[in-house]
Amino acid sequence: MPEQITETITQRITLSGRVQGVGFRPFVYRLAQQHQIKGWVRNVNGAVEIQAEGDPIQLQRFSHALLSEAPPLSAPGPLSVTDCPSEHAETFSILGSQSGMAADIHLPTDGFVCADCLAELHDPANRRHRYPFINCTQCGPRYTLITALPYDRPNTSMRDFPLCADCRHEYENPLDRRFHAEPIACPVCGPHLQFVSGKETHEGDEAALAATVAALRAGKIVAVKGIGGYHLLCDARNDSVIATLRERKPRPAKPLAVMVRDLDALRALVHVAPELEHFIAAPARPIVLLPRRADADLSPLIAPGLGEVGCLLPYSPLHALLLNGFGGPLVATSGNLSGEPVLTDNHEAQTRLSHLADAFLHHNRPIVRPADDPVYRVIGGTPRPLRLGRGIAPLELELPAPLPEPVLALGSHMKNTLCLAWGTRAVISPHIGELDTLRSLDTLAQVAADLQALYQVQATRMLIDRHPGYGYRRYARERQLPLSEIWHHHAHASAVAWEFPDVDEWIVFAWDGVGFGEDLSLWGGEAFTGAPGRWRHAAAWRPFHLPGGDKAGREPWRAAAALLWETGQTAPFAPEPLHQAWSHRLNSPASSSAGRLFDAAAALCGVCTHASFEGEGPMRLEAMATTSSDTHALALPLERDTLGIWRTDWAPLLPMLTDATRPAAERAASFHHSLAQALVDQAMRLREQTGISTIGLTGGVFQNRLLAESAIARLEAAGFSVHLPRRIPVNDAGLSFGQIIEHLFTPL
């Protein structure tokens, strides 16, 4: 009988999504060996392209496994498969990267050490034992060291570290997990540490690590360079050194993050639900706000007046080594000047932080761009982002419809992020910060240029907030691109609407500090009906005039005085000239801000009259309220004004807030529940009016867990479906993406 010939076919397979920098090509290589496939694999402008020749059944299994068995850090998109002529390959090989015309780039984020590298880090027999820069294709820095794409070593900050023979062998071996791990390094050929304290210098990893641990144990503050920038580290149990850090920064009361060695150490400090531990230990290693244990071995100066502590696990092998050596929790606050982006350059850090730090732990691997730590808070049983940063951002999102042109949204003045969007894709940058300094604006310009260069997309339009005083307006004008202005609270509402695409009609409550409103007053306690591109202002708080305007944000007593004066009462704590100016409406803009109501309540309850950081009054008020079991809500009048807007009157809250015979915690709790019930009352009127029963909550005020959870419970009891964002911060950090969504659906 003639020999049976097995049919062979050839296919060109393309995968987009996150498939570069995550070990995808060696994965494809091993898979091809397993399924007896011949051909090749290569990177092409953000995608992976495969030429696969083999038996049809094996090809089918191979294609299925490309998605079902993909590396854990990857996120491959759907397969594109076309038949093509055979190249008669005799083996399967990995080709060099190729640049094409149309980019479909997905930028990898930074991640913590994988289990394999961690085992090597602690293995005395391994050549990378205790090496602070250990990594492989499944872990380590990405976004913070990429200078250009495709993601190859010459296009990273590792290009000046030639590989030794051993690393070269691993890098070129498709069966090794370090095959084309672009940050690959070892003690022979990679970066190293340097410890500097005054005239004392220690070169080399072990000497620098030992000196750093000794300095921390001696009660010193050490500026330590990590993956996305510098941290200021000190003993989290030492009142004296924390007081010194607060005095130097100056940061008198703002909470400090605490880094702990592992989950066991975390459980000793805070209450953490078992289902949350996986999230905390994920490669992004976010800061998560958690309730402090009464017996926690932490200084009370970590988060004065608050019941939660921001905790994180080590986010680099260097931090893992330091924590193991130190043997206790460390304060890990951003190495920056207040309000500025985190510092990344050795010389600049040592110069600008010299008055803050007693010592420096540098390394010579350059950080291409800053990435501060991400921050989450558990609200309604779900961790929700307060700040996007290292390991989370750039956050890549899918748009519900294509944009007609590439756009760059500049977000807000506070908690700034940028969002680049084109086609049906959007990318939110890591946290940049407040735009009050030249360095912040320089960082904004750098991140804007980097995003466009890395994703190979040039924006042809910019989106900005309508507030005329935002710090980026000069930058926007200098770019000489067409500008579209977006209402602040419309952007907030559109961001939450994007997360829940099945909802067609919304009632959205957008409560925050202040944002420029459609009537040119300072809004911040609004409700809207509709959907992106067609929001209608439907409800708000009774307006009041803020003496001193923007100063009220840092001086809660001003908001308290405003409420008293609006109701014909005196405010003995306020100077009479200010009252006179307020009476004549001099620098006293009208506002309907829920955030300023919280400021006023904090001042009237004696919790906070002067804030050393944004939101201090409301945060302290919430912490105090949680110590009371009182859930009583005052009934607040609700009437329609001449424009048809439902307005809630806050005036009945004042007798309760000023009643010194009642415990402050009771008053604080009653205030929270009264505002939650007022929200429900507005929602019920709007449901009667429109028939809409789906609620969205957005704006920085809903970072307040007590308010948000009370409102959600009351709304659901009243028959509403309630949505609070999970992927996009409710505060101004989500504004840039909201601007994109609002622009997408706004008629030209």
Percentage of the chain surpassing pLDDT 70? 98
- Which residues lie across from 721 on neighbouring strands? 694
pLDDT at 103: 58
pLDDT score of 143 more than 70: yes
Concatenated DSSP letters of 399-455: -SS--SS-EEE---SSSB--EEEETTEEEEPPP-B-S-SHHHHHHHHHHHHHHHHHT
Task: Tell me the C-alpha distance between 332 and 350, whole Å.
Answer: 17
pLDDT score of 2 more than 60: no
- Which residues lie across from 75 on neighbouring strands? 18
What digits encode the pLDDT tens for the residues 453-478?
999 999 999 999 999 999 999 999 99
pLDDT score of 615 more than 90: yes
Task: Tell me the C-alpha distance between 147 and 156, whole Å.
Answer: 5
Q: What's the whole-number mean pLDDT along residues 656-660?
A: 96
What digits encode the pLDDT tens for the residues 310-319?
999 999 999 9
pLDDT score of 1 more than 70: no
| Contacts of 414 by beta carbon, 8 Å cutoff, 6+ apart | 434, 435, 513, 614, 732
Task: Tell me the C-alpha distance between 380 and 702, whole Å.
Answer: 11
pLDDT at 101: 45
Q: What's the whole-number mean pLDDT along residues 162-186?
A: 93
CB 342 within 8 A of CB 370: yes
List the one residue out of 566, 591, 592 whose CA is nearest residue 579: 566
Percentage of the chain surpassing pLDDT 90? 84
What digits encode the pLDDT tens for the residues 526-542?
999 999 999 999 999 99
Residue 642: band (very low, low, confident or very high) from pLDDT cuts 50, 70, 90: very high
pLDDT at 312: 97
Hunting for tokens 């969002």 — which residue is that?
Answer: 419
Task: Tell me the C-alpha distance between 466 and 742, whole Å.
Answer: 13
Tokens of 664: 């402050």
pLDDT at 99: 61
Task: Tell me the C-alpha distance between 547 and 574, whole Å.
Answer: 10
Q: 3-state class of 309 per DSSP?
A: strand
Q: What's the whole-number mean pLDDT along residues 726-740?
A: 97
What digits encode the pLDDT tens for the residues 221-233?
999 999 999 999 9
| Contacts of 294 by beta carbon, 8 Å cutoff, 6+ apart | none
Residue 74 backbone phi and psi in degrees, to 5? -90, 165
For residue 199, the tally of other CB atoms under 10 A from its CB is 5
Amino acid of residue 202: H
Tokens of 703: 């970072």
Task: Tell me the C-alpha distance between 734 and 727, whole Å.
Answer: 9
Q: What's the whole-number mean pLDDT along residues 425-433?
A: 95
pLDDT at 465: 97
Residue 271 backbone phi and psi in degrees, to 5? -90, 120
Tokens of 535: 């929001």
Kind and range of the H or E element at 336?
A: none
Alpha-helical (H) ranges within 54-191 are 56-68, 115-121, 165-172
Q: 3-state class of 266 per DSSP?
A: helix
Torsion region of 445: left, alpha or beta (phi above 0 gives left; psi -120 to 50 gives alpha): alpha
Q: Is the dihedral of CA 314, 318, 322, 324 positive or negative?
A: positive
Task: Tell me the C-alpha distance between 167 and 169, whole Å.
Answer: 5
Tokens of 479: 């770019």
pLDDT score of 174 more than 90: no
For the chain, give the mean pLDDT. 94
Tokens of 123: 């293995």
Task: Tell me the C-alpha distance between 199 and 211, whole Å.
Answer: 13
Q: 3-state class of 699 per DSSP?
A: coil
List the one residue out of 487, 344, 514 whose CA is nearest residue 414: 514
Task: Tell me the C-alpha distance between 40 and 292, whole Å.
Answer: 54
Task: Tell me the C-alpha distance between 212 and 194, whole Å.
Answer: 10
pLDDT at 6: 62
Task: Tell me the C-alpha distance between 34 and 64, whole Å.
Answer: 13
Task: Tell me the C-alpha distance between 218 and 126, whole Å.
Answer: 31
Residue 341: band (very low, low, confident or very high) from pLDDT cuts 50, 70, 90: confident
Concatenated DSSP letters of 510-555: EEEEEEE-TTSSEEEEEEEEE-TT--EEEEEEPPEE-TTGGGGGT-
What digits encode the pLDDT tens for the residues 144-154?
999 987 778 99
List the one residue out of 265, 239, 256 whose CA is nearest residue 320: 265
Alpha-helical (H) ranges within 165-316 are 165-172, 205-217, 239-248, 263-267, 274-280
pLDDT score of 254 more than 60: yes
Computed over its alpha carbons, how large is the radius of gyration of the chain?
28
Longest CA pairwise span in the chain (Å): 111
Task: Tell me the C-alpha distance between 359 and 385, whole Å.
Answer: 32
pLDDT at 75: 83
Hunting for tokens 């390094």 — which residue is that?
Answer: 185
Task: Tell me the C-alpha distance between 552 and 540, whole Å.
Answer: 20
**Contacts for 674-679: CB closer than 8 Å, 24+ residues apart:** 674/633, 674/634, 674/636, 675/594, 675/597, 675/707, 675/711, 676/633, 676/707, 676/710, 676/711, 676/714, 677/633, 677/634, 677/635, 677/636, 677/714, 678/636, 678/638, 678/648, 679/509, 679/711, 679/714, 679/715
Q: What's the whole-number mean pLDDT along residues 15-26?
A: 82
pLDDT at 148: 87
For residue 174, the tally of other CB atoms under 10 A from its CB is 18
* Crossing angle of helices 735-745 and 488-499, rounded to 10°: 90
Burial class (CB in 10 A: 0-12, 13-18, 19+), 295: exposed
pLDDT at 711: 98
CA angle 650/654/657 to nearest 5° reads 120
pLDDT score of 506 more than 50: yes
User: What domains sit in the chain, N to C, each tagged with a CATH number?
Assistant: 9-94 (3.30.70.100), 193-363 (3.90.870.40), 394-486 (3.30.420.360), 490-744 (3.30.420.40)
CB 135 within 8 A of CB 126: no
DSSP code of 467?
-
Q: What's the whole-number mean pLDDT along residues 501-516?
A: 96
CA angle 316/16/152 to nearest 5° reads 50
